[in-house]
C-alpha cells in the first residue's frame, strides 16, 4: 500500500513540471491555454525615394526597407520589454535622411504598430567663384530661377538649396555694365550627388569695341591714321575705315593723322573720347583740297582740260561745251567761268564735279572775263560787241544785270580791289577802259601802246601792266593813269600777270618765250626770257606753288615754269590749240 502512494506522488510531480514547461514556451499574440504571450514592433515608412534604408530595434534585429509602406521587426517582445526603433543606414541615390517618431516605449500586452519613419531627400547648396568682374549689375541664376546679384569677385552661393539627385544649371541672367563685360560660366551644369557644389566658375572679361569712321575729300595717297599713338591704319580712298585693334570698354581713344597724304592736309573731328559699351563709328576725317587745279581751254576742240597742278602730265578730266577762250575762277564758290567766243555765251562750271551747270547768253564774241571777289559778279569782255556784260550772282543764280559800252574790241580784265576799279584793254582803240566795280559804270579811258591785249594790276605799287601787239609792256600809274614806262619784251604780247610779293611780272611773247620783268618801282626792266612752246598765248600764276602755266597755241601744249628759279619743269601736251588758262585755288 505504501508503495502505491509513492508512485502516485512521483506521477503528480511529473505532470506539474510538464505543465510549467508548456506554459513557459507559449506563442505571442494572445496565446491561450496559459502560454507566455509575446508582441511585435511595426510601423510605416513614407517619403523614401532612395535605396538602402535599414532600421533597427534596440540596436539589433536589422530590417531592410525597400519601399514605402508598413514594416515589422521579426523579433517579438514580452510584455514589459522596451523597444527603440532607429535608423541604422539612411537611403542613398538619392541621399535621404529618415527620421523615426513614436519609436520608443514599453511593450504592454499588445503589438506596436504606430512607429513612423519619414524620409526626406537631402538638399545641398550650389555656389562657386567669380573672377574678372569690374562692371556692375551681374546677376546669376540657377535653373532659371533664384536670382543672385554679384557685386564683387570672390565666392558666391545661391540661397535656394537643391535636392540630391536634381540637376543644377548656373547661367548669367544680366551681364555687367559700366564697364560693359561678358561673363561666362563653366563647370556650371550637373546633378547633385550627396554634397554641396562649390566648383562653378564665372569668368568675366571686359568687352572690346572698334573705332571707325569716315574719310572724305581724299585725293592724294599715303594718308595714315593712328589711334592712341600705336594702331596705324593706311587709308587709300574715301569711305569708311576701322582700326584693326579693338579697345576695352572704358578705354580712351585718340585718332590722329600720322602721315598726311600728298597734296592735302586732313583734319580729324570726333576723334577722341571714351568707349561706353558700343563701337565708335563717328570719327570724321576730312581732307579738304589744298592743291590747285589748272584749267586750259581749247577753242577749236570745244573742250576744257582739267589738270592736276601737282603733277606734270595728268589730265583729270575734260569738259566739253561751246568754244571756250577766256577763263576765270571763283575759288570761294568753286566755279569756273568760260567765255565761248563763237557761241556768245558764258559757261558756268562746277569745279567739284567738272560739269557745266548753266549757260548765260552775253554779247558778241566774248573773249575774256574776270571775277570781282567782293560780290562774285563776272565781267565779260565782248570783243565784237564793244561791250562788257555784267553777270551778277545771288544764291546760286546768275543774271546778266547790265551791259557796259566800252571802246573797240575789249579783250582783257584786271581788278584793283583796293580802289574798286576794273581795267579793260580795248584792242583796236589802243586804250584801257576804267569801270567802277561798285555801280558797274564806265568812268573813263586812257591811252596805251598799240593793240593792248593783256592787263594786270599791282595794288600795292599802284601800277598797271599792259601788254599788246606793240611788243611793249606799259607801266601805268593807277593814280594818274599815265603810261610811265613802256618796257620792250621783243615780240607781240598777249597777256601779262603779276606777283606782287616777288616784285615780278610775267608777259607772254609771240616770239616763243615769257619775259620776266622786275616790277620794283623805278627799276622796271626785263630780267630774262624763259623759252616756252610755239606762240605762247595766255598765262596763269600759282603764287602758292610758285608756278607759271603758259598756253602755247601752235605747239598744242602747256609749259610749266618753276618761279623759284625761272626754269621750265615740264611741258604738258593737250588736245587742240590751247587758249585760256586759269588756276583754281583750294
Q: What is the pLDDT of residues 113-162, one digit of tens each?
A: 999 999 999 999 999 999 999 999 999 999 999 999 999 999 999 999 99
SS3 content of the chain, % helix, strand, coil (to 5): 5, 60, 40
The reply to whether the predicted model has a pTM over 0.85 is: no
Residue 194, phi-psi category: left (phi > 0), alpha (psi -120 to 50), beta (remainder): left
- Range of lowest pLDDT (7-21, 93-107, 234-248): 7-21
**pLDDT tier at 263, thresholds 50, 70, 90:** low
Burial 475-513 (b: 16+ CB within 10 A, else e): bbebeebebeebbebebbbbbbbbbbebbbbbbbbbbbb
pLDDT for the residue numbered 5: 41
Grid cell digits, residue 348: 558756268
Cα(445)–Cα(185) distance, integer angstroms: 93
**pLDDT tier at 337, thresholds 50, 70, 90:** very high
Quote the percentage of the chain above a pLDDT of 70: 91
CA distances 404 to 380, 430, 436, 437, 562, Å, are 10, 18, 11, 12, 38
Task: Check pLDDT > 80 for residue 80.
Answer: yes
**Strands 578-584, 377-382: parallel, antiparallel or unpaired by DSSP?**
unpaired
pLDDT for the residue numbered 353: 81
Are the beta carbons of 533 and 524 closer than 8 angstroms? no
pLDDT for the residue numbered 340: 94
Q: How far apart are the first and last CA of the chain?
A: 167
pLDDT for the residue numbered 576: 80
- Mean pLDDT over 170-176 rounds to 97
- Count of beta carbons in the 10 Å neighbourhood of residue 178: 13
Quote the percentage of the chain above a pLDDT of 90: 80
**pLDDT tier at 10, thresholds 50, 70, 90:** very low
pLDDT for the residue numbered 34: 54
Residue with cell 535605396: 51
**Nearest CA among 331, 336, 330 for reference residue 305:** 336
**pLDDT tier at 315, thresholds 50, 70, 90:** low
Is 292 or 451 the better-scoring residue by pLDDT? 451
- Mean pLDDT over 45-70 rounds to 96
pLDDT for the residue numbered 1: 40
Which CATH fold topology does 38-121 show?
Immunoglobulin-like (2.60.40)
Task: Check pLDDT > 60 for residue 435.
Answer: yes
Q: List strand residue ranges (DSSP E) for 363-491, in order.
A: 366-372, 377-382, 387-394, 397-405, 414-416, 421-426, 431-436, 441-447, 452-458, 463-468, 472-477, 482-488
Cα(53)–Cα(67) distance, integer angstroms: 9
**Nearest CA among 411, 585, 404, 574 for reference residue 496:** 411
Alpha helices in 25-147 (DSSP H): none
Task: Check pLDDT > 60 for residue 389.
Answer: yes
DSSP 260: P
pLDDT for the residue numbered 287: 87
556-579 residue pLDDT tens: 999 999 999 999 988 988 878 899
Cα(206)–Cα(419) distance, integer angstroms: 68
pLDDT for the residue numbered 366: 96
CA distances 33 to 25, 26, 27, 36, 76, Å, are 11, 8, 10, 9, 19
129-142 residue pLDDT tens: 999 999 999 999 99
Grid cell digits, residue 262: 600728298
Are the beta carbons of 454 and 515 closer than 8 angstroms? no
SS3 category, 490? coil
115 forms bridges with which residues in the sheet?
A: 43
- Mean pLDDT over 521-528 rounds to 95
Are the beta carbons of 413 and 422 closer than 8 angstroms? yes
Find all residues with CB under 8 Å of 12, minimum gap 6, and list them.
none
**Strands 126-131, 197-206: parallel, antiparallel or unpaired by DSSP?**
parallel
**pLDDT tier at 26, thresholds 50, 70, 90:** very low
Task: Check pLDDT > 50 for residue 16.
Answer: no
- Count of beta carbons in the 10 Å neighbourhood of residue 311: 15
pLDDT for the residue numbered 22: 38
**Nearest CA among 403, 322, 411 for reference residue 363:** 403
471-486 residue pLDDT tens: 999 999 999 999 999 9
- For the domain made up of 208-286, the CATH class stated in words is mainly beta
Grid cell digits, residue 229: 599713338
3-state secondary structure 345-356: EEEEEECCCCEE
Host H or E run for residue 185:
strand 181-186
DSSP 136: B
408-426 residue pLDDT tens: 999 999 999 999 999 999 9
Task: Check pLDDT > 90 for residue 174.
Answer: yes
Grid cell digits, residue 115: 512607429
Amino acid at each position: 500500500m505504501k508503495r502505491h502512494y509513492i508512485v502516485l506522488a512521483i506521477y503528480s510531480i511529473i505532470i506539474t513540471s510538464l505543465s510549467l514547461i508548456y506554459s513557459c514556451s507559449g506563442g505571442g499574440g494572445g496565446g491561450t491555454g496559459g502560454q507566455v504571450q509575446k508582441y511585435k514592433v511595426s510601423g510605416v515608412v513614407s517619403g523614401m525615394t532612395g535605396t538602402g534604408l535599414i532600421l533597427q530595434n534596440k540596436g539589433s534585429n536589422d530590417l531592410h526597407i525597400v519601399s514605402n509602406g508598413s514594416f515589422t521587426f521579426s523579433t517579438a517582445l514580452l510584455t514589459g520589454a522596451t523597444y527603440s526603433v532607429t535608423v541604422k543606414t539612411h537611403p542613398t541615390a538619392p541621399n535621404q535622411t529618415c527620421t523615426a517618431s513614436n519609436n520608443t516605449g514599453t511593450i504592454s500586452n499588445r503589438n506596436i504598430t504606430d512607429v513612423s519613419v519619414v524620409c526626406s531627400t537631402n538638399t545641398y547648396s550650389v555656389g562657386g567663384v567669380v573672377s574678372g568682374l569690374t562692371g556692375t549689375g551681374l546677376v546669376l541664376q540657377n535653373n532659371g530661377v533664384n536670382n543672385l546679384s554679384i557685386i564683387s569677385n570672390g565666392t558666391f552661393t545661391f540661397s535656394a538649396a537643391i535636392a540630391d539627385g536634381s540637376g543644377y544649371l548656373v547661367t548669367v541672367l544680366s551681364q555687367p555694365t559700366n564697364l560693359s563685360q561678358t561673363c561666362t560660366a563653366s563647370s556650371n551644369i550637373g546633378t547633385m550627388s550627396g554634397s554641396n557644389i562649390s566648383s562653378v566658375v564665372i569668368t568675366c572679361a571686359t568687352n572690346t569695341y572698334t573705332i571707325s569712321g569716315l574719310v572724305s575729300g581724299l585725293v592724294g595717297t599715303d594718308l595714315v591714321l593712328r589711334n592712341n599713338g600705336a594702331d596705324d591704319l593706311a587709308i587709300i580712298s574715301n569711305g569708311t575705315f576701322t582700326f584693326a585693334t579693338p579697345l576695352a570698354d572704358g578705354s580712351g581713344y585718340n585718332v590722329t593723322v600720322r602721315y598726311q597724304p600728298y597734296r592735302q592736309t586732313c583734319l580729324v573731328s570726333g576723334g577722341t573720347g571714351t568707349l561706353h559699351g558700343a563701337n565708335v563709328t563717328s570719327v570724321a576725317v576730312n581732307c579738304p583740297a589744298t592743291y590747285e587745279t589748272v584749267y586750259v581751254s581749247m577753242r577749236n576742240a570745244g573742250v576744257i582740260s582739267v589738270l592736276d597742278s601737282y603733277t606734270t602730265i595728268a589730265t583729270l578730266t575734260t569738259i566739253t561745251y561751246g568754244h571756250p577762250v577766256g577763263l576765270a575762277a571763283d575759288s570761294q564758290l568753286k566755279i569756273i567761268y568760260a567765255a565761248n567766243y563763237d557761241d556768245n555765251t558764258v559757261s558756268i562750271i562746277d569745279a567739284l564735279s567738272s560739269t557745266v551747270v548753266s549757260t548765260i547768253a552775253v554779247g558778241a564774241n566774248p573773249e575774256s572775263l574776270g571775277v570781282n571777289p567782293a560780290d562774285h559778279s563776272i565781267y565779260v569782255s565782248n570783243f565784237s560787241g564793244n561791250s562788257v556784260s555784267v553777270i551778277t550772282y545771288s544764291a546760286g543764280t546768275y543774271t546778266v544785270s547790265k551791259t557796259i559800252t566800252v571802246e573797240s574790241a575789249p579783250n582783257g580784265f584786271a581788278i584793283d580791289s583796293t580802289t574798286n576799279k576794273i581795267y579793260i584793254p580795248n584792242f583796236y582803240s589802243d586804250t584801257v577802259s576804267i569801270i567802277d566795280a561798285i555801280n558797274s559804270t564806265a568812268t573813263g579811258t586812257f591811252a596805251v601802246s598799240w593793240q593792248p591785249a593783256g592787263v594786270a594790276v599791282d595794288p600795292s605799287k599802284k601800277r598797271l601792266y599792259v601788254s599788246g601787239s606793240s611788243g611793249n609792256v606799259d607801266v601805268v600809274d593807277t593814280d594818274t593813269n599815265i603810261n610811265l614806262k613802256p618796257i620792250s619784251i621783243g615780240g607781240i604780247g598777249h597777256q601779262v600777270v603779276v606777283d606782287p610779293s616777288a616784285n615780278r611780272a610775267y608777259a607772254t611773247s609771240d616770239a616763243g618765250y615769257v619775259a620776266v620783268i622786275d616790277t620794283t618801282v623805278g627799276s622796271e626792266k626785263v630780267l630774262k626770257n624763259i623759252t616756252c612752246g610755239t606762240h605762247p598765248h595766255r598765262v596763269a600764276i600759282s603764287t602758292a606753288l610758285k608756278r607759271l602755266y603758259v598756253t602755247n597755241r601752235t605747239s598744242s601744249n602747256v609749259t610749266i615754269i618753276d618761279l623759284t628759279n625761272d626754269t621750265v619743269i615740264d611741258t604738258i601736251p593737250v588736245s587742240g590749240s590751247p587758249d585760256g588758262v586759269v588756276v583754281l585755288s583750294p
